[in-house]
């Protein structure tokens, strides 16, 4: 083992960040600074805005940005490398404007570089230009957003899946699944589990609208399951919408652990990922690892690049009519869609030991060069 470099992680209180603190702790001396308190993971420094309403929330936003600027300067002296998760405005502003000397590695999410416009886009562009290495799996995403939108040198981008798929995500036996159905009271023939946060961006309402077009006999055999992560008001509206469409919508009303997510994927025949924009949620890989079939937005570049229609997934147009057709097809052809060769191919993409080794090598090379 080479020298233990000091890596400062900047992110949010999310599983991705906590996994990196744990996963790279055997290779680097990790120090973590995060925004918010969503899950309560154990990070070194947590920056919180205790107010939701103006003007106090605005005052705290300004104070927190100032604190982040100070912390970036402080830990730039102490660390060998910065590892940035989610390039939100506070981090982008610090990277774009401060005289940082240590190399910066960025894990590309999606919305943080897809949505900024106006002066936010200018700040994001300057920050991205100062970042040394970016981990991003799909060429379709970084050519469309990173290179075209921000003019980033493609040589800076390392095509790799930078997050692990937990070992708990695996296929269970039929007896185990039967027991889990009883545990969660999901006793209907077909379960459709939406793992994404309940936000309109992920088109849960369109999913239920599509299911509502199925014949009554088939609708009666379906349960749609939602997690408790996201907008609670939107989630309640989905439950009511299900009642009017003849679809049972189960609101779990809580955030699930990875182990519980694995149980849900094993129970469900379909895992929908039909967001409005380019996407590559980790739930896609988790679902396939557990044997669930994906329903994917046909117009998402990353999905088209990684997945193959008819092999553990069906691509769909974002219309209720096409969603209904494709769901009915999956329900009638589930065994045919579960292609073992495809399963092994996708599991190789998420092979964490292989990916972790490459990420560690990349960081070590970058620090060595600096």
DSSP string covering 41-108, please?
Answer: ---SEEE-----STTHHHHHHHHHHHHHHHHHHHHHHH-SEEEEES--HHHHHHHHHS---S-EEEE-
Residues 304/310/313/314 CA torsion (nearest 10 deg) = 80
193 and 252 in a single domain? The answer is yes
256 lies in some domain? yes
- Give yes or no for a contact between 9 and 27, defined as CB atoms under 8 angstroms apart: no
Residue 135, helix vs strand vs coil:
strand
Report how far residue 58's alpha carbon sits from residue 66's, in angstroms, rounded to the nearest whole number. 13
123 and 222 in a single domain? The answer is no
Predicted pLDDT of residue 1: 53
196 lies in some domain? yes
213 lies in some domain? yes
User: How large is the angle between the packed helices 282-289 and 340-349, nearest 10 degrees?
Assistant: 140
- Give yes or no for a contact between 136 and 142, defined as CB atoms under 8 angstroms apart: yes
142 and 225 in a single domain? The answer is no
Joined together, the tokens standing for residue 164 give: 């692990």
Predicted pLDDT of residue 227: 93
180 and 118 in a single domain? The answer is no
154 and 56 in a single domain? The answer is yes
116 and 235 in a single domain? The answer is no
Predicted pLDDT of residue 15: 86
248 and 197 in a single domain? The answer is yes
Q: If you search the block for the tokens 């205790």, which residue do you land on? A: 50
Q: How many domains does the chain have?
A: 2
27 lies in some domain? yes
For residue 68, the domain's CATH number is: 3.40.50.2000
- Give yes or no for a contact between 106 and 130, defined as CB atoms under 8 angstroms apart: no
- Give yes or no for a contact between 292 and 315, defined as CB atoms under 8 angstroms apart: no
Joined together, the tokens standing for residue 73 give: 């300067």
Element (H, E) at 30: strand 29-35
The angle subtended at Cα 94 by Cα 146 and Cα 50, nearest 5°, is: 110
Report how far residue 97's alpha carbon sits from residue 281's, in angstroms, rounded to the nearest whole number. 31
Report how far residue 313's alpha carbon sits from residue 300's, in angstroms, rounded to the nearest whole number. 14
**What is the residue-level pLDDT of the chain in tens, covering all 370 positions?**
568 999 999 999 888 899 999 999 999 999 999 998 877 788 999 998 877 777 888 888 899 999 999 999 999 999 999 999 999 999 999 999 999 999 999 999 888 888 889 999 999 999 999 999 999 999 888 888 899 999 999 999 999 999 999 999 999 999 999 999 999 999 999 999 999 999 999 999 999 999 999 999 999 999 999 998 899 999 999 999 999 999 999 999 998 999 999 999 999 999 999 999 888 888 999 999 999 999 999 999 999 999 999 999 999 999 999 999 999 999 999 999 999 999 999 999 999 999 999 999 999 999 998 6
68 lies in some domain? yes
192 and 218 in a single domain? The answer is yes
Strands (E) located in 185-324: 190-194, 222-226, 248-251, 270-273, 293-297, 313-316
Q: What is the DSSP letter of 147?
A: I
135 and 179 in a single domain? The answer is no
169 lies in some domain? no
299 and 245 in a single domain? The answer is yes
1 lies in some domain? no
201 and 262 in a single domain? The answer is yes
Domain of residue 111: give its range. Answer: 6-164+351-369
Joined together, the tokens standing for residue 356 give: 């972790």
Report how far residue 355's alpha carbon sits from residue 100's, in angstroms, rounded to the nearest whole number. 28
Report how far residue 49's alpha carbon sits from residue 51's, in angstroms, rounded to the nearest whole number. 6
Report how far residue 260's alpha carbon sits from residue 172's, in angstroms, rounded to the nearest whole number. 13
268 and 213 in a single domain? The answer is yes
Backbone dihedral angles phi then psi of residue 316, each to the nearest 5 degrees: -140, 145
Report how far residue 133's alpha carbon sits from residue 365's, in angstroms, rounded to the nearest whole number. 11
Burial class (CB in 10 A: 0-12, 13-18, 19+), 345: middle
């Amino acid at each position: 083992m080479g020298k233990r470099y000091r890596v400062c992680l900047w992110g949010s209180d999310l599983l991705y960040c906590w996994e990196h603190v744990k996963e790279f702790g055997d290779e680097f001396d990790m120090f973590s600074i995060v925004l918010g308190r969503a899950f309560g993971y154990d990070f070194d420094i947590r920056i919180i805005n205790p107010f939701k309403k103006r003007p106090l929330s605005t005052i705290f936003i300004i104070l927190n940005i100032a604190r982040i600027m100070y912390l970036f300067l402080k830990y730039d002296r102490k660390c060998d490398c910065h590892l940035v998760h989610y390039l939100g405005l506070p981090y982008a502003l610090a990277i774009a404007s401060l005289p940082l000397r240590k190399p910066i590695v960025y894990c590309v999410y999606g919305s943080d570089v897809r949505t900024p416009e106006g002066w936010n886009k200018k700040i994001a562009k300057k920050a991205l230009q100062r970042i040394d290495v970016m981990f991003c799996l799909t060429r379709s995403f970084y050519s469309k957003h990173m290179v075209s939108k921000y003019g980033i040198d493609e040589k800076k981008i390392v095509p790799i899946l930078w997050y692990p798929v937990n070992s708990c995500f695996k296929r269970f036996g039929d007896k185990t699944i039967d027991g889990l159905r009883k545990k969660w009271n999901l006793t209907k023939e077909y379960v459709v589990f939406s793992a994404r946060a309940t936000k309109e961006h992920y088109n849960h309402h369109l999913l239920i609208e599509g299911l509502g077009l199925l014949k009554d006999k088939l609708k009666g055999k379906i349960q749609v399951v939602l997690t408790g992560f996201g907008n609670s008001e939107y989630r309640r509206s989905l439950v009511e919408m299900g009642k009017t469409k003849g679809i049972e919508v189960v609101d779990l009303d809580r955030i699930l652990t990875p182990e519980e997510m694995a149980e849900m994927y094993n129970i469900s025949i379909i895992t929908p990922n039909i967001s409005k924009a380019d996407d590559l949620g980790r739930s896609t890989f988790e679902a396939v690892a557990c044997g669930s079939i994906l329903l994917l937005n046909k117009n998402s570049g990353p999905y088209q690049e990684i997945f193959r229609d008819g092999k553990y997934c069906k691509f769909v147009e974002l219309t209720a009519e096409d969603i209904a057709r494709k769901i009915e097809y999956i329900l009638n052809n589930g065994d045919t869609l579960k292609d073992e060769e495809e399963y092994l191919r996708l599991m190789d993409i998420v092979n964490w030991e292989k990916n972790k080794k490459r990420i560690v090598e990349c960081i070590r090379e970058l620090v060595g060069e600096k």
